[in-house]
Structure 1
Amino acid sequence: MDSGVAAEHNRHSWNAAVEAHASHRPGLQHYLRTGGLTVFPEELALLGEMTGRSLLHLFCNTGHESLSFNRLGATVTGVDLSDAAIAYARSLAEATGLQATFVQADVYAYLSAAAHAGLSFDRIYCGYGAICWLRDLATFASGVAAILAPEGRFVLVEFHPTSNMFDPEWRLRYNYPHGGELLTLDGVGDYVGAAGGGLSPGGFAEGVRDFVNPHQCHLYRWGIGEIVSAFAAAGLRIRRLQEFFYVNGEKPFARMRLDDQRRYYPPDDVPKIPLMYGLVAE
């Protein structure tokens, strides 16, 4: 499939999902305005000190994480393909008094334009379902490397490819992701509603029920070796690769247990497998 057509399908699919996702977070504005953070300890530990740092948040979606980074002292730019998500992010910034520059753009176009303009960032972050939207890992990694400031840090917190081998009932069903294999789905789903509060720290509401996305989306399946190698080949030094046996916020499998930190753990009868990982490259 032509990459431009796929990207346009994805934009429409994300646009359709924004309202459904937001319907489960009625308290988000108040939560952020009164000091709440929607980011998890894992990404904060990997990002390190943010006070006075410039931070680029790629695949920022509706911006609540970007605004959380601003609360922690960073000057933030958020980029996302979805114009509906960016519009929501801008309204969220206005309502909370937090600040970020939100840009609607294809990530490849943004990285190229930023390099051409001579921009650089102390921190570049993306995570939680970002890598699967990349049709070309090498170009993405090179684009990140081109605008990462000297002594800067790229951080990725992502769902582990191993977890994509299982169906929702923990049955081994699929090949290990590799090679950027194209996967076409019915559309971006209502994962915020399915998380039942894991992704709604300001309070969960039932909101939209039985959401059906009218627009297909197209994902790309990459293995962890390919991901790490792409950033190494782009000239970045891999400083850390950490695996986690739980999932932050989302509930991808049945019978998962939610703790008071919004982490979902497998049931006791399921052997431990890595469900999430964090990568730091400098």
Structure 2
Amino acid sequence: MLKKDLHEANRLSWNAATRAHNSHKGDQARFLREGGSTLFPEELELLGELRGRSLLHLQCNSGQDTLSLAARGALVTGVDISDEAIGFARSLSAGSGLPGTFERSDVYDWLASAPPARYDIVFCSYGVTYWLSDLKPWAEGISRVLKPGGRFVLVEFHPVLWLFDEKLRLTYPYGGGHHVPEAVGVGDYVALSGKGLVPSGYEEGVRDFKNPHACHGFQWGLGDVINPFLRNGLLLERLEEYCYANGWNGIQGMREAPGHRYLLPEGVPELPLMFGLSVRKPG
């Protein structure tokens, strides 16, 4: 069941956090103008050819990935609940010269009102399912806006990762939409990860950020994510699992690998830290 009151709390928390996150990223418009990209190989490999494709980027945050996709020829629309993020994305589009349409909305409201069969690709990545209070209408909405033959692509942190806290202590339940209230709100994970999440060059920016607004997450398992799409008639093309995290250095003692990837600490058995999903609408 949708929990719109908790979504509204998350909007406020993300507004505050987004300002801190972007304070570390310097002149992002110049970075994009000069051919820079914030995308990782995993999402590009799953997305495939983008030139001329209509692409809907849900929970697009401040638009850096959306505009990196536009630079590869996609016709992009980004949607996010955060006013701060969408305002920044619009400015970034203008400053970089990369075209994109950005709309501020709760993803559920946007999907419910969008015209059907409009997009070749719907895309989400990195820390999106945690903020969704009900996956059934999410999957239904995505299925509805895809053109026949269109695909939904997701690159996401693995639900196994969210069983643990930052010290790798088993803390949280697996899946089922379990509600996780967080009194500290959305944190400054960009400062925590440093250069891993800032290919444009990390800057110190806001120090010791403390979010004044609490936030609310939801624990979903792999089956919770995939099955609603299958029930809506989409076909599973690929499911990949990766034993590293792109850009995110959120567990104490993580080891950096080439390509801004992070591995679990030395001596810890390998666990999947991300997964990639591609499903296709028949047609």
TM-score normalised to structure 2 length: 0.96
Q: How does 1:158-237 map to 2 (within 5 A)?
A: 158-176=156-174, 178-185=175-182, 186-237=184-235
Letter in 1 for 2:238: R
Cα separation, 1, equivalents of 2:276 and 2:101: 25
CA drift at 1:258: 2.1
CA drift at 1:251: 1.1
Aligned residue number for residue 129 of structure 1:
127
Cα separation, 2, equivalents of 1:212 and 1:2: 28
Cα separation, 2, equivalents of 1:260 and 1:27: 24
Aligned residue number for residue 151 of structure 1:
149
CA RMSD of aligned residues (A): 1.3
Cα separation, 2, equivalents of 1:151 and 1:52: 15
Contact 1:135 1:180 in 2 (8 A): yes
Aligned residue number for residue 92 of structure 2:
92
Structure 1, residues 93-141: CA drift from partner, whole Å, max 9, x if none?
A: 1110001000001101111111xx3451001000101001111111110
CA drift at 1:2: 7.8
Aligned residue number for residue 54 of structure 2:
54
Cα separation, 2, equivalents of 1:4 and 1:140: 13
Structure 1, residues 44-91: CA drift from partner, whole Å, max 9, x if none?
A: 000110000000000000000000000000000000000110000001
Residue identity (%)? 50
Structure 2 SS opposite 1:161: coil
Structure 2 SS opposite 1:235: coil
Contact 2:56 2:78 in 1 (8 A): yes
Letter in 2 for 1:281: V
Contact 1:93 1:99 in 2 (8 A): yes
Structure 1 SS opposite 2:218: strand
Contact 1:138 1:234 in 2 (8 A): no
Cα separation, 1, equivalents of 2:274 and 2:154: 10
CA drift at 1:268: 2.4
Contact 1:27 1:203 in 2 (8 A): no
Contact 2:116 2:146 in 1 (8 A): no
Structure 1 SS opposite 2:238: strand
2:244 to 243, 246, 249: 246
Structure 2 SS opposite 1:122: strand
Cα separation, 2, equivalents of 1:14 and 1:164: 19
2:275 to 269, 274, 277: 277
Contact 1:28 1:203 in 2 (8 A): no
TM-score normalised to structure 1 length: 0.96
Greater than 3 Å deviation, 4+ residue runs: none
Cα separation, 2, equivalents of 1:153 and 1:239: 9
Structure 1, residues 126-181: CA drift from partner, whole Å, max 9, x if none?
A: 010100111111111011000111111100100101011122122323322x2211
Aligned residue number for residue 106 of structure 1:
106
Structure 2 SS opposite 1:89: helix
